[in-house]
A = this chain, B = another copy of it.
Amino acid sequence: MSKELPITERTRLRRKNERGYYDRETIDAILDAMPMCHVGYVIDGSPVVMPTFQWREGDHVYWHASNAGRGLRAAEGTAVCLTVSLLDGLVLARTGLNHSANFRSVMIFGQPRKITEPDRKADLLNGMIDAFYPGRSTILRPMAESDIKQTALLSLPIEEASAKMREGGPIDEEEDYALPIWAGTVPVKMQMMPPVPDPRNLDGVEMPEHVTSIKFG
B residues within 8 A CB of A47? 40-42, 47, 79-81
Report the Cα distance A196→B94, complex, angstroms: 15
In the complex the two chains form, is B68's CB within 8 Å of A14's CB?
A: yes
**A interface bracket (residues with beta carbon within 8 Å of B):** 35 or more
In the complex the two chains form, is A49's CB within 8 Å of B42's CB?
A: no
With known contacts A68-B14, A95-B142, A191–B188 Cβ distance under 8 A = yes
Tell me which residues from 70 to 117 in chain A have a Cβ below 8 Å from any Cβ of chain B.
70, 79-83, 85, 87, 90, 92, 94-97, 99, 101, 103, 105, 107, 109
29 contacts between A and B (CB under 8 A): A10-B48, A14-B69, A14-B70, A15-B68, A38-B38, A38-B40, A39-B49, A40-B48, A40-B49, A46-B79, A92-B136, A94-B141, A96-B125, A96-B129, A96-B140, A97-B144, A97-B151, A140-B181, A141-B176, A170-B198, A179-B202, A182-B208, A184-B195, A184-B196, A184-B207, A185-B195, A186-B195, A189-B190, A189-B193
In the complex the two chains form, is A183's CB within 8 Å of B198's CB?
A: yes
In the complex the two chains form, is B193's CB within 8 Å of A97's CB?
A: no
Residue in B closest to A100 when the chains form the complex, CB atoms: B53
Number of copies: 2
In the complex the two chains form, is A184's CB within 8 Å of B201's CB?
A: yes
Distance in Å: Cβ of A43 to nearest Cβ of chain B: 8
In the complex the two chains form, is A42's CB within 8 Å of B45's CB?
A: yes
A residues near B (Cβ < 8 Å) are: 10, 14-15, 36, 38-43, 45-51, 53, 66, 68-70, 79-83, 85, 87, 90, 92, 94-97, 99, 101, 103, 105, 107, 109, 125-126, 128-129, 132-133, 136-137, 139-144, 147-148, 151, 169-170, 176-202, 204-208, 211, 214, 216
